[in-house]
Each structure stands twice: as structure tokens, then as C-alpha cells.
Structure 1
């Protein structure tokens, strides 16, 4: 070997190792929507040797800080009372442990609280005011989640006679009034239909993220401020294990976004992972999970991302008025920045 400014043999070896690394499909970060700053934050952790759990937490937290599309983090999607509340979950695909929070109040870092539930309690899921008190006891700062923007959204909604809202079978007519409401007798089931008359695109919510390290360790997570003008106390699909996301390092991971009140009934993330377990590639696994929902709800707004433990990934979405393509973000070896990918909806 030559001395001085570095061995040519070592330089060749380094170049060969880089070539192998850049061609490897792992590590991998995939997340819903083109939230590239979140993807980049997660990749920075993962590519420097951090765990997929750290990557997912960091990536989702980045969206919480940036208020991605106004649908993640503080200051967005006020409920019927004008308050912003948060839902989040994180799942360890090695241990199958999960931490989740829902209807979290006054705490900005929802994904951080979800991880604290997983790592500092024997529980899986905390909700509402009690979840906020737990967060404070863990050192999270209590802050107002309301902003001028969320107040403006709320005021405009009140001026429009609380339209749109999520009330049904009540009086006065929820399509013309803010209430207060009283229940009406529901229509007989034979007179109802499983096809929605209106497709709700207000639920363009959630960052759902999958991270896989070089060894195939899979973690997933979600964070959202839920549906705009939701009934106070409503919990969507995002923090629900198997609905918002699911991880199993022996197979892979999945995460969902869209109309949570529809999607959570079918546990699409769990279903997609099970589809991969049975041999489906990630794209097919996502498509099958979407198709299963469409058998019961032919038209709905939703999408799923999937990745297996070897680094293959894919996505699928359900076609709805105003939603025919789904864009998501990927970071993988050989890239200097996140890649935006797109899939046509089924």
C-alpha cells in the first residue's frame, strides 16, 4: 500500500462499498402525501444508523411542527367547539408493542406522547384529558393548540351555519343548522344504502410513515389533527392499531390515510400486512386492502402505503370525485433527496 494521502486500495474498497449500499433497497422511508421534510427528517435518522422507531418519531414530529397541509399538528382541523385535538400512534415491528393517543389536548408533540405510552407504561392507548395529563407528567409542555388560522376556519364554519358537519338523523336539519340537536329515529336499514351520497374530502389528513432499516426492522407511525369540524371526542383511524398503521418485522409495514370513519372499520393496514405475509407484493397488498373496503363502500376517499422487510414498496388508493391519483414520498439509498411517487386510484 502507498502511504500519504490515503491508500488507493482503501479508496477502491470504499467506492465498492458505496456502490453496494447505493444499490441496496434498504434502509427505506415511505410516507403518505408529499410531506418531503418529514421524509427527509426520518431518513437522516435512519441513514445515520438510528432505529426505525426514532426515524418514525422524528419524521412525524417534523410534520407536527410544520403543520403539514394544516391536517397534522396544532392549529388545524378545529372540531365543533373550535378546539384542535391530536391523534397519533407508533408501532415496533420487532416487539409488536404499540403506543397510541387520541383526542390529545394542549400537547403539540402527539407522536412523542404515543411513544412515551409505549415505552413508559404497560398500556397501549390513552385518550382525552387523561392522555394530556399523562403527557405533562412525562415532561411534555402544555401549550394552546389554537392559532389565528384555526380560529378563522372555525368562525367561517359558524357563519356558514356549521356546514359541513358530521351529524345525521337529528333535528333541526344538520344541513341547515348548528343545533343544538336532538336525535331522530333512524331510517330502517332496508331504506339506507352503503354507497355514500357525498364523498368527504375533508379527511385529507394524517402523515402515515413506514421505516425499515438495513436489518429489516420495521416501524410505523401516524399523526393527525383529525377531521375538520368533527364532533368533540371523535377518534379517527390514525391511532387505531391495524387501521392507521401496522408493523411486523417478519413481513413489513403499512399505513393508511383518508376517510378514517370508513377505513377504520376494515383495519386496512393490518390487512395489507397480512396480504404481504401470504405472498403478495406491496403494491398488490395495498390494492387488495382497498378493494376489500370497496366491496362495502364502493366510493370512498382513502389510500394505503405498503413496504416489505426487504425494501420493496407500493401504494393504492380508492377513486373518488376530485381524487383520482395519490402522491406519496419515498427516501431510499442512492437518492440525495426524497422521491415523490404517484399511483392512479382504483
Structure 2
């Protein structure tokens, strides 16, 4: 009996010792996990929508590498497609509304959540520059229409005709049938949205567009709306949209992408989930026939992703590792479905 009691006693002591060592080891392991250095941030990175984003990326990248502030770099990049008459959905040369007026929307946002926006702006070639000044020089986030134009003129911008001969010709041809079908794909580009993480690991972003071709006069899409066309939280990530603005506005698209990244989703996973949410909410909607939306996203670690509802969406990426390049976004379905 004595031997049996001694055996049990020794076994209990041994178990206690092993348990103590085990708990101690777990504590150190847990402590080790907590003390693991944060994931290395990939920076700088610039990502933007469509192939007209590539020259915008290149200019933004050049400015960043020259030490320019993030918003100045974004402005410089966005001004490239805004001034290009061959980019028919942004700035000068953009398709007009059904009355033949080119109306522009733009917004910009920095890592401190400061933002500036203009909507329904006419006669000013660079709405991204006006949006930046709304951020920097006014107590407001958005100026619209005649008020946005008045502000732009007060800041030294010159009013000019933005309707090029080619866009006017296309508009007059459209008037023959006057069918509004804003099909958005790789041939008929849309908004340019641009996101970046700079050398300091801070996020920023911007959007600029002439909006949907042949829209009603006065229509404003998602691009100038913070939380729809663009959103960022410097602790989490940034997201921006392209496509039919009405669908993005209805779902607060870009803000929702950022919130999913906050919950731990990768940029690609977040873009995919919100795109599928838009599909589920619109699959029986009158807009579904020509509905296209796409998102790009960039998280705090410099990881990027994109996804679109239909085929044809591509995006530009710039980083030190692979330079400037284009990638095709994954998508839910083809246009013929």
C-alpha cells in the first residue's frame, strides 16, 4: 500500500511539474506571438483602374520618388488622363451628358481622413485639382455645380470647352436613337480611381471621371462620394470603385470593402465579397442588363487586390519589386451571361 501511495504521489508531482512547464511554455509562446514584429509593409505601391491608369501610376510614382507629398503625387498622376482627349470617360474629351454637356466629378482623400470633392463641375479640365483645394482651403468636403465652378475660378482655374470634336460627333450619333446603356468594359472605360501607400506607410487615394456617357443632365455618380467611389482608413486600407455608380452608391461599396479588410479579409477577398453583394442585390434589377462594377483595394501592408462583376476589368500596379504593369481582374461572370 505504501509503495502504491508513493507511486501516486510521485505521479501527481510529475504531472504538476509537466503541467507547469507546459503552461509556462504556452505563456512564452503566447508572449512570443504578441511580440512578433509586424508584417513588413510593402511600400510605396500605387494601384489604379483601367489601362489609362498606367500613365497615371507612372506620373504618381515619379512624384513620390521625388519626395512630393501624397496628394500632390495623386493630383499629378490623375491630371494625365484628365488632359488626354483620347480617354473618353475622364476630363477633357469625356463623353457628354444627353444635352451635350461634359460634367465632371472628382474626389481625393488623405491618411488623416481629410477629403475634398467636386461634383457636376463644368468647364474645368482638372477637377482633381479643384477637389484637392476643396480639401485644403475650405471647411467643406464637397462643392457642386455652379458653386464648384465659382470656387475653381476664384482659385485661378480657367473655364474652357471640354467637348472635343470626336466626343461631339459620338454624341450626335447617339442622339439618333437616344438609348441609355452605359456598358462599361475594357473598350469603354470608366472612372479612374487611384490608391497608394507612400514611403511612410500612409494611404491616400483619388477618383476622377466624366461619368456615364449620355446621362441625364445633373446626374452625379459614385466617384465624388466618399464611402462610395473612394474610402480609406489609414489603420486598415483603402478601396475605390469603377463601373455603374448607382449600384456602388446603393451599397456604400468602397467603405464596405475597407470594413471587410478591417475584419481580416485580404484586399481580393474584400473586393470579391462586396461585388457579389452588389450582384445579389441587383440580379433582378432593371440595371442588370448592363451592370458592371469593379473594385480595387490596398491594405496597410501594401497588399493589393481587385475583382469585378463582369469580365473586361483591368488595373495598373506600380511597385519597386515589379515596376509598372497591368493585370486583369478576376470576375464573377462574362458579358454574354
**CA separation of 1:248 and 1:226: change in aligned 2, threshold 3 A:** same
Helix, strand or coil for the counterpart of 2:107?
A: strand
5+ unaligned residues in a row in structure 1: which ranges?
A: 1-22, 166-197
Preserved contact between residue 93 and residue 167 of structure 2 (Cα < 8 Å): yes
Partner of 2:318: 331
**Root-mean-square deviation (Å):** 1.7
Note if contact 1:55-1:211 (Cα within 8 Å) is conserved in structure 2. Answer: no
User: Partner residue of 2:42?
Assistant: 25
Hey, what does 1:84 align to over in structure 2? Answer: 102
Q: Secondary structure at the match of 2:98?
A: coil
Residue 262 of structure 1 pairs with residue 247 of structure 2: yes
Q: Say whether residues 1:218 and 2:203 are aligned partners.
A: yes
Aligned pair 1:301/2:292, yes or no?
yes
Mapped contact 1:107–1:143 kept (Cα < 8 A): yes
Give yes or no for the alignment of 1:146 onto 2:163. Answer: yes
Query: C-alpha deviations, 1:208-237, integer Å up to 9, x for none?
Result: 000111222111110000111110000001
Tell me, yes or no, if the aligned pair for 1:325 and 1:344 is still in contact at 8 Å: no
Deviation sequence 1:138-182 (CA, Å, 0-9, x none): 111111112111211121122x232x13xxxxxxxxxxxxxxxxx
Task: Check 1:24–1:98 CA distance in 2 against 1; reply closer, same or farther (3 A cut).
Answer: closer
Alignment partner of 1:161 is 2:177: yes
Question: What's the CA shift for 1:199?
Answer: 7.5
The 2-side partners of 1:109 and 1:83 are apart by 16
Using the TM superposition, give the Cα deviation of residue 24 of structure 1 relative to its aligned residue in structure 2, in angstroms: 6.7
CA distance in 2, matches of 1:250, 1:68: 37
> What residue is the counterpart of 2:329 in the other structure?
343
Contact 1:204–1:257, Cα closer than 8 Å, also in 2: no
Structure 1, 83-92 or 66-75: larger mean CA deviation: 66-75
Residue aligned with 2:177, SS = coil
**What secondary structure, in the 3-state scheme, does the structure 2 residue paired with 1:133 have?**
helix
Give 1 or 2 for the bigger CA radius of gyration: 2
**1:21-75 alpha-carbon deviations (Å, 9 max, x no partner):** xx97210000001221111011111222222222221111111012463111122
- Structure 1 position 46 matched with structure 2 position 64: yes
Check if 1:109 corresponds to 2:126. Answer: yes
Compare the two structures and name the one with the higher helix fraction. 2
Residue 296 of structure 1: SS of its match in structure 2? helix
Would you identify which runs of 4 or more consecutive aligned residues in structure 1 move more than 4 Å?
A: none
User: In structure 2, how many angstroms separate the alpha carbons of the residues matched to 1:149 and 1:76?
Assistant: 10
Count residues with an aligned counterpart. Answer: 284
The answer as to whether partners of 2:244 and 2:293 remain within 8 angstroms in 1 is yes
**Mapped partners of 2:207, 2:85: distance in 1:** 14
For the residues of structure 1 that align with 2:116 and 2:182, how far apart are their CA atoms? 31
Return 247-256 or 44-53, whichever deviates more. 44-53
State the 1:106 CA deviation.
Answer: 0.7
Query: Secondary structure of 1:69's match?
Result: coil
The equivalent residue for 1:317 is 308
| CA distance 1:67–1:276, change in 2 (3 Å) | farther
1:125 to 137, 142, 150: 142
TM-score for both structures, normalised by structure 1: 0.78
Q: Which residue of 2 aligns with 1:279?
A: 264
TM-score (ref. length: structure 2):
0.81
